[in-house]
Structure formats: C-alpha cells, structure tokens
Structure 1
Amino acid sequence: MAVPFCKMRPELRKLLAGAKAEIAALRWTLEALPLSATETAVAGSARQNLLRLAAELSAHEGVTHWAISMRLFGKGDFFHRLEKGGHPRSDTYEKALGLLSQRWPEDLEWPKGVERPAAPKQKGAA
C-alpha cells in the first residue's frame, strides 16, 4: 500500500524530493539538446501536419482548436503547445493522426500532403 508523501518519514521525503529535482534537471537538460537536422525536419512536419488538420477541422466544425484538443485528448492545450513551438513525440503524433482520421467528417476532404493512417480493421472482418 502506498504511503502518502506527507506521512513519509522526513528522511525519505527529503530523499524523494531530491530525486524528483534531479529528474527534473535531467529532463531540462535533455530538452535543451539540439535536434539533428533530420529530427528537426520530422518534428517540424509532424507539428505542421497536426496544426493544419486542427485548423481545417475546427474551421469546418465552427469550433476552436481547444475544442478539437479536448475531444481528442481530454485536455485543451495540445494544439496551443504546438502553436507555441512544441513538437509532438512520435507516439503522440501517431495517436493524434489516428484519432483525427477516425473522427474526420466524410464531407471534408483530408488535406493533401498529409498521409492519412489506414482505418483500423474491424473485429470479425476478413
């Protein structure tokens, strides 16, 4: 059974707080490392693809990208972070593409230049 942080022995709280701080420092260091030219191009195009899809879908449905983000991820800041220069991880990009593809309206053409993921196979379909 997990013990709440506030009920831990003081020396364990101090040790855990120090470990959290070290992990945060390592994360900041990793995020500050420059991307290679290939990684930058891939991350940039993934970012641009998602922003383009969100813009077209939000314009079609008459909502903001915040609403699209809420529908896909249950939080509204995903596309906002991309607009501010953030880059999606590859698994997040694939997940977002899949979710957008599944929810894409039939009366709206999928944007050219953005590869649409294959529809998932239905159970029992041969």
Structure 2
Amino acid sequence: MNFAFSEEQEELRNIVRQFLEAKSAETAVREQMETERGYDPEVWSQMAEQLGLQSLTIPEEYGGQGFGYVELIVVLEEMGRALLCAPYFSSVVLAANTVMQSGDEAAMSAILPGIASGETIAT
C-alpha cells in the first residue's frame, strides 16, 4: 500500500499552510484566545470564500466539494501546526459529519449548505 500523499493533497497542504502562515501567526492566535468569541470572524470568512475549507468534505449537492477524509486530515494537520483559533473542528468535523451520517435528508438540506459556506457555526 502507498501511504504517501498525492500531488494534489500536497498542493492543498501548501495552499493551506501559506494561508495560515499569513492569517494565524502566534501573536494573532494569542490575541484571539483572549477574546470572548475565541476566533477571528474575518479569517473564518476568508477560509470559506478563498479556500472553501468549510465545504471540503461536504457533498457537492449541499454546496460542498465532496473530498474525502485524507484531504480533511491534511487541512487539520496544517491547522494544528498553525494553532488556528477557529470553530472548524466543531463545525466541519463534528457537526457536518454527524448530520451526514444521520442520513436525515431534511437535516442535511437545512444544515450542510450553511456549514459549507461558513455562515453556520456549530459549537
């Protein structure tokens, strides 16, 4: 078995790394940790609008990109590396996956497009 990341996955890693190096410097992380919100809404919006990170594993029919868990892992590794303060894990990993695994079509139609666009934050 080949466990190496593909060229596309490495490109995703590089794009996310560059974005986070610019948007999630250590000083910015420490500042965000001290706020009531705990993250920068502008960076959250840019993650959705510029990179589509919130929509990564959400199926295309709900506004997502339909990628798999390997791509999600690549993104999560980079977020951990940068110590990103954002509700990504709760919204994208926990909430979106729970809704998708439920098989409830009404819930998926109601919730997933908002998560994919970055407008819905699940905590």
Structure number with higher relative contact order (C-alpha < 8 Å, ≥ 6 residues apart): 2
How high is the TM-score relative to the length of structure 2? 0.25
- Of structures 1 and 2, the larger Rg is shown by 1
